[in-house]
Chains A and B, each alone.
Chain A
């Protein structure tokens, strides 16, 4: 009993440490992609001096944050000001826990993984809100309030679009859901409307262009991050990009078969070989969606805050409801 408990605790510590460590290279890779891809689309080369093809530019960015002065406004609320970056970062890092990287490479494979994920990823709004409030800056405050309004409204269509998937797959566990997709084909084919809603809402949920109302550099300077500097800002920055990767990964898992290849999974690949094979496909899909988000950022202007809210409540929410209704009816009728 004691040995089992110790083993469990040890396993938990190992997994969480690994995931926390994983967030940092993930952020570096995603930031590097953003720098390079946007540059290429703007007919520039992008960073190309540090390392081969400028590979280590984002790493150097990270270390630069460590070296910078950690400045706090005089009238900032010290406790919450310090807490906010942690909350945002932890929300991103904690949601990595249920990420289905590959068969046998899920840190916590529990039966309500999807519920856990959407509960945890929504926590970052608290961090942004208190960052906006604690900074004692009007831009930060406006940005914080925007983040609260935007993320809370977009969580509803986001979750509703996933409910369709869950109803169809009949499970809240990522591994089982991918198993279902192996048997019935990718969820993309079953839930195209759900995919559309999910993609738009997930962009809004992680504050990506064209829904980056929170940061809105041409209106609110940097939104809630305006007064942050040094590693505190670095945490926000990393969390933003880790969240982008996570959302891409979750989209791959929910709609694009997670670790499945476009052709049937080779049966002879079991154990470590299967894990590697799955990891390859999972990361390929995730980074494709990261690329898509960066592509959108290079192209689109920002939507306005009232259009953003209008879209959530007037378009996406009814559409998601309808999608859910149709899915549920079909599931019951055809007994899928």
Chain B
């Protein structure tokens, strides 16, 4: 059951849906001969009870803080649970495999910074910017992700999102001012994309569709709050730009 709990923990932490967590844990419990395995999963906690013929009831609660998503771990645990059901692992081996998955290296920081820049540039083109705009959006996206990596741990989520999007807005304003980019709007739209809460938004919808209303609404609130914070940050940045440059500058 420790194994099941660990698997559930990794899944939940890295952005899997509630029903996937529950189902995976159920399958692992049943495979290892626990008769009355029962898991109750919320968006930031797992409650399991289990019993077999020797032990009557055994319960465990684990709190799981919200953190950033690493989808490759979800893929790995999913694969592992399928192989467990096929009987390829003993309990100990499964535990070790989970430990390996937990320590799995994410992408390097530079790769992620580059990806953020690339994504910002691409989405800038998508919203209608030209190549110059895309270039400056990329630059803003790169710097934004540097900020994310540097400050993400230290600031609260609200302040972090407001500061991040304000930073991007100011940066784009500056780049537009020195003449690298032409369309301010498209530049900003592109470069705030790395902040947009895609994972909680999609997971919230799917949790609600599966009837996990508590987790669904918590995650939806998370997504909405982030959207609002981004809007505030952009507004703040725009206001600063207007004030600093005598208004009417933004086209």
Question: Are A and B associated in one complex?
Answer: no
